[in-house]
Amino acid sequence: MIAQKEGIGLVILRENTSAAAVYEYIYGEITHRRLCPGQLLTESYLCACMNVGRSPVRLALQQLAKDGFVELRANRSPIVTCFTQKQLQQLYSLREVFLEYALRQTIDLYEKEDIATLTAFLSDMERAFQFRAFDDYIQAVAGFYRAIIDKADNPYLTESAAVVINRINVYICLYDNFYSVKRLKTLSMQSRMVQGIREGKLGVVLRAHQKLSNEVVAAYDQMVLRNLPSGHYNEKRAEAR
């Protein structure tokens, strides 16, 4: 039986406690930046580190791959998932498409309760950041965008958008500077999005999201392409091979 934490891609294997422990260990190492994108995950090291056999390690790695945190490779050790700048731009552009589609149908239908729901998610993000509760932050971010898209009451839109939202969650887990910054720049842009929805101004919402997307891509560029920490996946070198 598999139970999923609401709002993020994290899935825990409940029927195998050893596999669940390995999963949680690797996930924690990733979110705390001790395992970097592109870093090898050797079974022998994980077995020795967790004092378990290969079976639970493989189960955990398989589930981590399904959730997007690990890339399994034929006849080679798995690695922590990597994102290219192009993939990141595509994800945020797709999210904007979904938001625009939903809001074109609903922006004039928002009531006080709907705005209160979005504002509550912003408060949850800020509170999670203050207490450095990363999983809570991930859930609040995902909930914010899901609430906007779900307002359209279109199950096909919701299902398609969920794929993109979950993938962005994986990116945040792998690359976000949550633990190293003093304030959340993106929060002001999300607040501006809520203001645009409250005022019924779609252009304001889209411009705020575009600014947020540009900030994320710029941060990625600085972190990965310019000041790449040891152990991280080097996109430029990979492309040159």
Segment 61-75, tens digit of pLDDT:
999 999 999 999 999
Give me the mean pLDDT over the 148-159 stretch.
98
Q: Which pLDDT score, from 0 to 100, does residue 221 have?
A: 86
Candidates 3.40.50.150, 1.10.3720.10, 3.30.1330.10, 1.10.10.10; CATH matching 2-80: 1.10.10.10
Q: Quick one: 85-226 is in which CATH superfamily?
A: GntR ligand-binding domain-like (1.20.120.530)
What predicted TM-score, i.e. pTM, was given to this entire model?
0.85
Beta bridge partners of residue 2, listed in sequence order = 13
Burial 218-230 (b: 16+ CB within 10 A, else e): ebbeebbeeebee
Percent of the chain with pLDDT over 90: 76
Which pLDDT tens digit goes with each residue over 127-140? 999 999 999 999 99
C-alpha to C-alpha distance for 165 and 163, rounded to whole angstroms: 6
* CB neighbourhood size of 239 (10 A): 8
Lookup: tokens for 18: 């050893």
Q: Any idea where the domains of the chain sit in the sequence?
A: 2-80, 85-226
3-state DSSP assignment of residue 71: strand
